[in-house]
Structure formats: C-alpha cells, structure tokens
Structure 1
Amino acid sequence: MDAVPGIVAVALVAVATLAIGTWGLRFSRTTSDFMVASRSVNPRLNASAIGGEYLSAASFLGVAGLVLTFGADMLWYPIGWTAGYLVLLVLVAAPLRRSGAYTLPDFAEARLGSRTARAACSVLVVAIGWLYLLPQFQGAGLTLRSAVGAPVWLGPVTVALVVLANVTSGGMRSITFVQAFQYWLKLTALLVPLAVLLIVWVGDGSPGSRATGDGSWSVPLAAGGGPGLYTTYSLIVATFLGTMGLPHVVVRFYTNPDGRAARRTTLVVLALLGVFYLLPPAYAALGRAYAPDLVGSARSDVLVLELPRLMVDGLAGDLLTGLVTAGAFAAFLSTSSGLAIAVAGVLSQDVTGRAYGERRLGGVAAFRLGTVVAVLVPALTALAAPNLGVARAVGLAFAVAASTFCPLLLLGIWWRRLTDAGAVAGLVAGGLGSGSAVVHALAGGPASGWGGVLLAQPAAWSVPLALATMVVVSLLTPDRVPAHTRRLMVRLHTPETVQLDRG
C-alpha cells in the first residue's frame, strides 16, 4: 500500500485549515466574534459552514458502511439528517435567532428566568457535544490507519491539535471560513472519485452484488417484524427531531444577522445536504459488488477509503484514495471545530469564566480555556473507549438531543404555559431515558429482545416521555410561568422589520 498520497492529503488539509483559520483571525477581536461571529455571517457563507460542520464522520464514512451492511433501511439516516433542517426551518430557526441568545442555556434562562434550567441545559450541551465528538476522533483514527497505516491514536491526536489551534486563535469567526471551505472539499472528495468509479463499473459490465444475489439487501423496510419496524420509526424520530437540539447546529443560527437570514440559511443548507447525501449510498452499492468481504465486518466504516484502490489499480487508485482521505479528514476537523465552539461557549459562561471572575460572556481567555477542556476530554476518551461504530455513536447523540432540547425549544417557542419546573423535569426525564441507551452502548450490552431494541434506539419512547413530562409538570405549576413570557413570545415571533417600525 502506497501511503504517500494519504499522508500528503492529510498534511494539505491540516495546513489549509490552519492557513484559512489564521486568515480569519484578523476579523476576530471581541468575545462576540469568538462565540457568534458578531452575528454578521451572510446566509450563503453560513450555509456552507453549516454543511461543513454537519457532515461529520457519520455522513462521510458511516452512511456508506451502514447501507453496505444493512441495505436501504439505513437510508433513513441521511434522509432524517436532511429533513431535520426542514423541521428546524419551519419551527425554530427565526424565533431562536430573535431570542438574542448566544447558547442554548442562554435561551433557557431568558425564556424561563431560571438558573436551574440554565444549569441543566449546560450539562446537556457538554454531554451531547462530547458524545458527538467521540466518533469524530475515532473516525480520524480509522482513516489514518486505513489510508497510511498509522497507529489508531495518531488520528485523534492530530485532529485535537489542529482544532485547538484554530478555535483558540480565532473562534467562530475563523472557523466559519474554514468550515465553508471544508464543505466544498468534502463534496469534491466524494464526487470526483465516484465519477471515476462509476466509469470503471460500467466498463466492467455493471456487476451486481456479490454478497446477496437475491437483492434483498435493498428492500427499504426494516426486517424483524415489530422490533424492526420500531427501530426504523425510532430512528426517524431521532434524526428528524434531533437536529434542532444539537449544540453546534443551534449556535450557527445565532450568527445570522436576523430571523429572515436564518431562514434563508436553512433553505440553502437543505440544498447542500441533499446533494451531498446522494453520494455515500452510491459507494455502498459499488461496495456490494467490489468489497463483499466488508459486509457486516467491523471495517465497513472504511469502505469509502478502500473502494478506490479495490476498483482502480496503480497510481490513479492511490490518488483517488488520497482525495477521499482528504475529504474524510476535513469532515473530522470541521465537525470537531463546531462542537468545540459550542461546548466551549457554554463552559466559558458557566465554568471556566468563573476562574477569571467573569460572568455571562466569560471573555476570550475563558473561552480558550473552555476550548481546551471541550477537546481534550473526548479525545482522551476516544483513545480509551471501545469503537461504537461511527454512525451509531452519532445516532445516540441525535437521540439525546431529540429527547431533551427538541421539547424545550418547541414548547419554549410555541407554548406560553411552559414553566421552569416543567422544563427541568422534562430535561431530566428525556436525558435519563436516552442517556440509558448511551450507557448501554458504552457497556457493550446485548441488543437481543425488546429490552435491547428499546435501548438501542430510544427516541420513539424517550422523546414523548420528555414532552409529556414538560407539559404535565407545567400544567401542575401554573404559578411558575415567568411574568415576562408574553413580552418575550412577542419578540420571538415578530419579524425584525416590524420591531424596527414599532421602535
């Protein structure tokens, strides 16, 4: 195996990331620059940046591996991840931007007037962020081992160092330019090799699956009767509703100038994601013909990296592998950067900021210290924890987000009677319910029987549990509805142009 193209590809991506981040540093001066880019990012740039950070290791590597092994059932992952932005567009994007918050805990405190609710949200943001960061570091280790034969620990260490350098130097302002570049790099890194591989496939006589000749792998309905259908529906709930609760996704909408720009950003994101997600399933289909030994194996996540060399001989195959490796590494860097900013923003306000005697916006020094904590904890965990499977770990993060922040945002934006007691009770119920699935997965628990099925995909029961708990407890505590609720609700749902006219 010629490792030179892979090494060069990783080095070029790292250098380009640092160079663009350094260029963006000249725009970063204030705490607002570091946390939300002073709320001045235009929709096209912001949409590319969101696409860059949202298309993570699970999208670049995991989707192809899942479809390769389990068939078209797994197309619910990319469909749900894309459709989640449609829900975000309709129900959350503009009101959330008008709230004026910097983070999800900021929104909770502004809406409910409760420090307890803020603290609960802070804990959840850090937990979801770390859970989502874990597969990014694991995927980096898999990529470098597959592409250049490096030890598994080198991937997490490299990603952690590059992310720390970029985020601590320029914050959100610098990362916006980096992530926009990385979206287009990732799209190119999948599209160009796929075009070549399809030409090779046609030249070979368009061979079909060598793993299952009956074609049953492509039937888009979950197998296994009731448990299979439950798994599919639960996956749909997690992916459709989890997007709006992901900290690194939500923080991006605070960077828009106003609510209208937030909606326009979301529309462009839908188009960018739709184009990208056409590509990984095509790799999976080709893998069925050319890499049947990867079906069902622990190495299915590296299909995208290994397929070019399996189908194209010589230098051309090595160059295509180098390009795909560059895209995969960009995926780890961009998503890790967005998550690091989201987690660091919360830590700088509620934890590290206090070390400097600072409150609320924490300051640049507290933000940088928060970034170090945000990156090092999951990086060290990735070196020690067993490999969950890239897409599976991300799926659990979506389930936790859907079970906690989704009900909070929906009710907080659209229901005046939500109270702090109801919100906290719902966050605890949804967090414990979906968190049990995370513990089950980390412990390597059995997935047999209904108990294992319910824990493997908890969103179908944990989301309704959290929503019902918030509603019931709020109705039982009507005296705890904040006095400013009506005024804030008007602000959330009134377009900025109308607010200016009234002013």
Structure 2
Amino acid sequence: MTTVPGFVAVVVVTVTTLAIGTYGLRFSRTTSDFFVASRTVRPGLNASAIGGEYLSAASFLGVAGLLLTFGAEMLWYPIGWTAGYLVLLVLVAAPLRRSGAYTLPDFAEARLASRHVRNLCSVLVVAIGWLYLLPQFEGAGLTLAAAIDAPRWVGPVVVGAVVLVNVGSGGMRSITFVQAFQYWLKLTALLVPAAVLLVVWAGDEAVRSAGGPSATAGDWSVPLGGGGAQGLYTTYSLVLATFLGTMGLPHVVVRFYTNPDGRAARRTTLAVLALLGVFYVLPPVYAALGRAYGADPATSDSLVLDLPRLVVPGTLGDVLTGMVTAGAFAAFLSTSSGLAIAVSGVLTQDVTSRRLPGLGDLGDLAAFRVATLAAVVVPLLATLALPDFGVARAVGLAFAVAASTFCPLLVLGIWWRGLTAAGAVAGLLVGGTGSVAAVAWTLAHDRAQGWFDVVVGQPAAWSVPLAFATMVVVSRRTTAPAHARRFMVRLHTPETVELDRS
C-alpha cells in the first residue's frame, strides 16, 4: 500500500539533492572543476563524499538481507568493503594523487607511455562503471516498489534523471557537496529507526524469549563459512575481491584526484575508514531484528524497508519506513552520481571530446555532458531490460573485475619500476577477460551446481594472482619506459620535500 511518508521521503531527497547540486554549480567554472573539483577538496568533506558514494545499494539493503538469510558469516562483505580502504591507504592513495592524473587511464598512460594501455583502461572503467550502476538502478526500483507501491521501472528512471541533471550541470564540484550530505543522511536514516526498533524489541518480552525462527537459504550466494570446501573457497575469493577491488573502482579512485596533495589523500582515507566503520554497525542490527520478528528470507533484499512496519505496525512504522526509504534513495543517487562522474570523465577524454574539438572549455563541457548522457542511459536501459537483477551479486562481481584488472596495474605501476606497457596490456587482458567471462557466466546461471559454478561465480581467487603473474612475467621479457625511474620518484616524493628543495 502506498504510504505518504515514503512518497514524501523520496520527494524531499530528490528536491534536496537537486538544490545542493545547484548550489555547487555556482563553483563549477572550468574543466578542472568538472573533472576533479580543481583539486581543492579538503579531507573532511572528501571523506564524507566518498562515504556517500561508496555506501551503495549493496551496503544499505544488501548486507542486512544477506545477514538475515545466511547469518553472521556474511559479515565478510562489510569487513572486506571497509578493509579495502586500509589497503588503499597503505599502497595507493598518496602516490596516485601525486601522479597528477584526472582518471585511471590518465595514470596508466603517464606511467607507461602507451596509448594502447590507456585505451584498454578506458574500456575497463566504462565496463566496471556500468556493471556497478545496474544494481543501483535495480535497488531504486525495489525501494520505490516497497515504499510507495510504484512500478519497478519508476525508481531507475527517477534516479537516472536526477543524476543526469546534477552531474551534467555541475560535475565533480557539485556532486561533492551532494555526496557529503547523503552520507550523513544515510547514517541518520538507518540509525534513528534502528534505535526506535531496538527500544520496541527490548520491551517485547514475548519476542525476546521466543527468539524467532531462523532464516533459511536464499538466492544471492552460498554461505561463506559453510558448504565445506566450496564455502571455504567462496570465502577466500570474496575476501580477496573486496580487499583488493576497492582500489580499482573508478568512482572511488577519482575522488582521490580531488585532494590538494598526497598527505590530504591519506588523511581522507583514514577518515573514510572511521565513517564506514560507524555505518556498518547498523545493518547487522536490522538483520538480527528481522530474525527475531520472523522476516521472510524470500524478500531479504527489502528487509531494511519492510522491518519498521513489521515491528511497529501503524503510523510510527510508516514514518520509520519513510526514513529508511529516504536513506536508501540517497544511496542510489550518491553512488550513481559517483559512477556517472567516473565514466563520464573517461568517455569525455577518449571519445566525446574528439567529436567536439577546438572549442576550449566550452567544448570540453559540452563533451562532458554528452558523455554523462551515455554513462547513465546505457545501464538504465539495461536495468529496465533485465529486471530482478541481484543487487549484492552484481556489486560483488564488479569488485572481482576491478581487483583482477586495476589492482595489479596500480600496485605494480606504483611500486615496481619494471612494469612495462606490454606487461600491463597482457595482465589487463588476462584478468579482465577471465573475470568478465565469469560475470557473464554467473549472470546466465542463477544457482551454483558444482565446483565449476562456484569457482566461476567467485573468480577473484584465481583471476587476481593470474593477472599479477602475467604482468610480471611479460614485463620481465620487455623493456620498461625510459622515464619510469623519474616518474616513480614523483609518485613517492612527499610534497614537503619538494617544497624544501624549491
């Protein structure tokens, strides 16, 4: 049944997002503003913005649903998604910012002096971005269907339209303010209802003594800690994908280009770790309450939206549902915006800008807006054509592709002078082909039937080491770029040293 609070929540979030984006538009004047906010975003604001875009549909809806269905074993998902920033902090954040690049393909070309590497990276950025956008649009349709009884196509269309307006009009500068606001909105939207529901549960002696039925198997994945050897393999593969995939997600990496310097990039990453740690305390609370009140595992993907009315029927339940609806809708908007920015930046530099040459900043901005249209419309149409797309599964696959491609490129490109263009191309092709083929197979087969399906369904355990090994072996048989040593010095020299030397 359509609820007024749910409808009001969607309208308020949409209008507020557009209003903040319009405010940010006042500061967007140059190409650098649109791509990297002129590299002036301070750590506090940037950390909130990263938290806003990183906590996607899988974090807001998927984690609680997985915990409801499979129990505490699913905590590996939020642990991996958070710990990925620790790896990013140690290995990538500061050197990547010092590279001076706008995008991942920019970094690859500057490090390896190869247009072929750049083109391949561009294809991978677009592929990962589009794959990650699918669950955002699918989650938006699910949210509006559960909250206000809207048709499943309405959510993707509304999110796509808002993202197009905000990203196309203000670029990175505008979206930074929007995403920072949306992190705190999402945190509040989960925290307040959780606190109310815990108070209700504490006073419900019958439910506390009964404990509630245990959830049974669902549709998203096999239990990570159970299932014998297959479950153990799935656990290790998922951990590897989430730990290493974060640094390869284009919408995450592009935010570090907006920091003023490498030191600010490291401080931003530390703040992000704290913000994610606070947020991920809340989904297990919803899962535990869902088990206590007998939530249906068959609808676990909408647990966060359904739980308030299950625990507190009536007006209060509707109001709390409106709050979590607002948070869920903000999750789709913020993550979709970050992905659209990342994909648009790559398409602008490598595709659309070549169609609109000779116009200076005006031409760049026009090319950026055309690229934004392509970045949003293609996955939107795919979502409408592929209903009931698994939210958590799609996000996990995107992490696996990122871990199998950009993680080896970044780690070796930053820390090993011997990486060559030929080695990078070979590794990207091996890791990308293997993980993308696994994605295609997994999407075509809903359930794992045996070892082959399990290994293909979680490819990171074999595709990541294979990509690393390929890059090293091929690089040792070819010649590194002449400027590699000089470029490595630039990546690893702190800004304070450069200032002292000047």
Measure, in 2, the Cα distance between the counterparts of 1:395 and 1:198. 30
TM superposition score normalised by structure 2:
0.96
Does the CA-based 8 Å contact 2:214-2:294 persist in structure 1? no
User: Which residue does 1:493 correspond to in 2?
Assistant: 492
What SS does the corresponding residue of 1:363 show, helix, strand or coil?
A: helix
Matched, 1:250 2:253: yes
Measure, in 2, the Cα distance between the counterparts of 1:328 and 1:312. 20
User: Which residue does 1:200 correspond to in 2?
Assistant: 200
Matched, 1:79 2:82: no
Measure, in 2, the Cα distance between the counterparts of 1:437 and 1:204. 47
Query: Which amino acid is 1:283 matched to?
Result: Y
Listed as ranges, the matches of 1:110-149 within 5 Å are: 110-149=110-149
Q: CA deviation at 1:69?
A: 0.6
Measure, in 1, the Cα distance between the counterparts of 2:462 and 2:252. 24
User: Which residue does 2:335 correspond to in 1?
Assistant: 335
Measure, in 2, the Cα distance between the counterparts of 1:452 and 1:207. 41
Listed as ranges, the matches of 1:53-452 within 5 Å are: 53-205=53-205, 206-207=208-209, 209-212=211-214, 222-292=225-295, 294-295=296-297, 297=298, 299-357=299-357, 363-444=364-445, 446-452=447-453
Query: Which amino acid is 2:340 matched to?
Result: A
Does the CA-based 8 Å contact 2:39-2:260 persist in structure 1? yes
Does the CA-based 8 Å contact 2:2-2:149 persist in structure 1? no
Measure, in 2, the Cα distance between the counterparts of 1:221 and 1:332. 27
Q: CA deviation at 1:501?
A: 2.1
Does the CA-based 8 Å contact 1:41-1:257 persist in structure 2? yes
Over aligned residues, Cα RMSD in angstroms?
Answer: 1.5
Q: Deviations over 1:264-307 (max 9, x none)?
A: 00000000000000000110111112133x22x1x211000000
Q: CA deviation at 1:476?
A: 1.2
The 1:99/1:144 distance shift into structure 2, 3 A limit, reads: same
Q: Deviations over 1:61-98 (max 9, x none)?
A: 00001111111111000000000000000000000000
Measure, in 2, the Cα distance between the counterparts of 1:347 and 1:10. 30
Q: CA deviation at 1:210?
A: 2.6
Measure, in 1, the Cα distance between the counterparts of 2:39 and 2:294. 47
Give % identity. Answer: 76
Measure, in 1, the Cα distance between the counterparts of 2:126 and 2:51. 22
Query: Which amino acid is 2:367 matched to?
Result: A
The 1:359/1:103 distance shift into structure 2, 3 A limit, reads: farther
Measure, in 1, the Cα distance between the counterparts of 2:80 and 2:470. 25
Q: CA deviation at 1:381?
A: 0.4
Q: Deviations over 1:347-390 (max 9, x none)?
A: 00001111102699971111111000000000110001142321
Q: CA deviation at 1:400?
A: 0.3
User: Which residue does 1:217 correspond to in 2?
Assistant: none
Does the CA-based 8 Å contact 1:208-1:288 persist in structure 2? no
Query: Which amino acid is 1:249 matched to?
Result: V
The 1:159/1:283 distance shift into structure 2, 3 A limit, reads: same
Structure 1 unaligned segments of length 5 or more: list them.
215-219
The 1:439/1:261 distance shift into structure 2, 3 A limit, reads: same
Q: Deviations over 1:174-205 (max 9, x none)?
A: 00000000000000000000000001111112
Query: Which amino acid is 1:372 matched to?
Result: L
Q: CA deviation at 1:497?
A: 1.3
TM superposition score normalised by structure 1:
0.96
Query: Which amino acid is 2:315 matched to?
Result: L
The 1:424/1:358 distance shift into structure 2, 3 A limit, reads: farther
Q: CA deviation at 1:212?
A: 2.7
Measure, in 2, the Cα distance between the counterparts of 1:407 and 1:59. 25
Measure, in 2, the Cα distance between the counterparts of 1:290 and 1:396. 31
Measure, in 1, the Cα distance between the counterparts of 2:120 and 2:359. 17
The 1:99/1:207 distance shift into structure 2, 3 A limit, reads: farther
Matched, 1:34 2:40: no
Query: Which amino acid is 1:353 matched to?
Result: S
User: Which residue does 2:219 correspond to in 1?
Assistant: none
Query: Which amino acid is 1:210 matched to?
Result: G
Query: Which amino acid is 1:287 matched to?
Result: G
Does the CA-based 8 Å contact 2:348-2:364 persist in structure 1? yes
Measure, in 2, the Cα distance between the counterparts of 1:418 and 1:213. 49
The 1:490/1:447 distance shift into structure 2, 3 A limit, reads: same
Query: Which amino acid is 1:466 matched to?
Result: A
Q: Deviations over 1:101-152 (max 9, x none)?
A: 0000000000000000000000000000000000000000000000000000
Q: CA deviation at 1:207?
A: 4.6
Measure, in 2, the Cα distance between the counterparts of 1:263 and 1:146. 40
Q: Deviations over 1:322-357 (max 9, x none)?
A: 000000000000000000000000000001111102
Query: Which amino acid is 2:104 matched to?
Result: L
- Bigger mean CA offset, 240-249 vs 69-78: 69-78
What SS does the corresponding residue of 1:229 show, helix, strand or coil?
A: helix
Q: CA deviation at 1:463?
A: 0.2
Query: Which amino acid is 1:343 matched to?
Result: V
Q: CA deviation at 1:225?
A: 1.1
The 1:132/1:213 distance shift into structure 2, 3 A limit, reads: closer
What SS does the corresponding residue of 2:124 show, helix, strand or coil?
A: helix
Measure, in 1, the Cα distance between the counterparts of 2:301 and 2:77. 15
Measure, in 2, the Cα distance between the counterparts of 1:10 and 1:342. 25
Q: CA deviation at 1:447?
A: 1.2
Does the CA-based 8 Å contact 2:146-2:305 persist in structure 1? yes
Measure, in 2, the Cα distance between the counterparts of 1:75 and 1:109. 38
Measure, in 2, the Cα distance between the counterparts of 1:411 and 1:330. 36
Does the CA-based 8 Å contact 2:60-2:328 persist in structure 1? yes
Query: Which amino acid is 2:491 matched to?
Result: L
Q: CA deviation at 1:209?
A: 4.4
